[in-house]
Amino acid sequence: MQCSWSYGCNLLRAFRHDWEASQQGRRRPSVYRLMPVGFTLIELLVVITIIGIMVSLLLPAVQTAREAGRRLQCSNNLKQIALAHHGYHEAYGMLSMGSPTRTAGPTWAMRILPYLEQTGAYELCDWNSAGCSGSNFKLASRRFAVYTCPTDTPQAYRVTNIPLANYVVNGGNTGYYDWSGDFPVVRTYGAVKYLGSPFSVSGIVNSVNPHLPNTPYRQVSFADIKDGLSNTLMVSETIQGVQPSDSWDIRGLIWWGTMAFFETYLPPNSSQPDSLISTCCCKPTETDPMLPCIIGSNSQSPTNGARSRHPGGVNVALCDGSVTFISDDIDLATWRALSTTQGGEAVSVP
């Protein structure tokens, strides 16, 4: 056989010699059998390094994609809640009261249940009991997916094991009130004047018709929102209070009084503390940077800021039923104006 490539010819000869040897019952070493097989140590280390780099590049992308999905689910929850409020308004000609008192309930979270396809749960409501005690304890002990943001870590009030939630209604730009008898008296707080809100603490509940409170603080209709439905906040997020072993935090206990609201006195996810009404509401020494708080008084507004675990801002629903994401960097004056119903401010959602 003639061949112009010596290496190829040598391989062919080796194959031929092996074949001849096998025919004679003996083996001979060949060139191809002496060729190295597999990876060297250096090659293996290079491959492992490349895989590590690829994982480090892909992991943030996977986490970002997962958070985008969770944020979308949160937006869907807010959309359902906003549409439920619209269903309530269509049925009664007004939005539900936020809460009959600052330290009880039942709150809006119970009143809109039929419009969230939760009629069975709604039938458990006792309008003559507090929002999360007595006959309403069974209802409040349920975790409702529509009231839970998937980005947050589920918590439960340590004293009663009632699940906390993530959505609160708009209580205005200050939420300030002190108390005279059974009714709140709204005043200016920190040079910020209260200019109306879609929801409020409404006084004593009317046990005959739980949707029409026996109070001079009447419920709000869409016609009362002079600033426009598309320019007025309806619902925002809150973070479920972390439960330390030696205390508790009831932020997210939306069945109970002022915990059902948020106010815009503070910007979204503010590092400034929420001002809550009692030591039973939060632990001021809480180390979670997303949950700062102090215990307020009648001279300091009970203020629950809008907060979320989403990076960079909070999801909100507006009174027209639309849902949008508000950045932490929103101008504070604009943020406050979006919560009022009677302010007449020339603002729009950024």
Decide if 75 is inside a domain. yes
Walking along the chain (350 residues) 10 residues at a time, the average pLDDT comes out as 49 57 53 55 82 78 79 96 96 88 81 94 85 83 95 86 94 66 56 84 48 54 91 96 78 89 94 80 78 74 88 96 96 95 84
Task: Give the count of domains, the chain.
Answer: 1
Decide if 28 is inside a domain. no
Q: Is the pTM of this model over 0.85?
A: no
Decide if 150 is inside a domain. yes
Q: Residue 19: what pLDDT?
A: 54
Contacts of 312 (CB under 8 A, 6+ apart): 327, 328
Q: Which helix (H) or strand (E) holds 313?
A: strand 313-318
Decide if 262 is inside a domain. yes
Between CA 315 and CA 325 the distance in angstroms is 4
On whether the CB atoms of residues 139 and 121 are closer than 8 A, the answer is yes
Between CA 208 and CA 88 the distance in angstroms is 18
Range of the domain at 288: 59-337
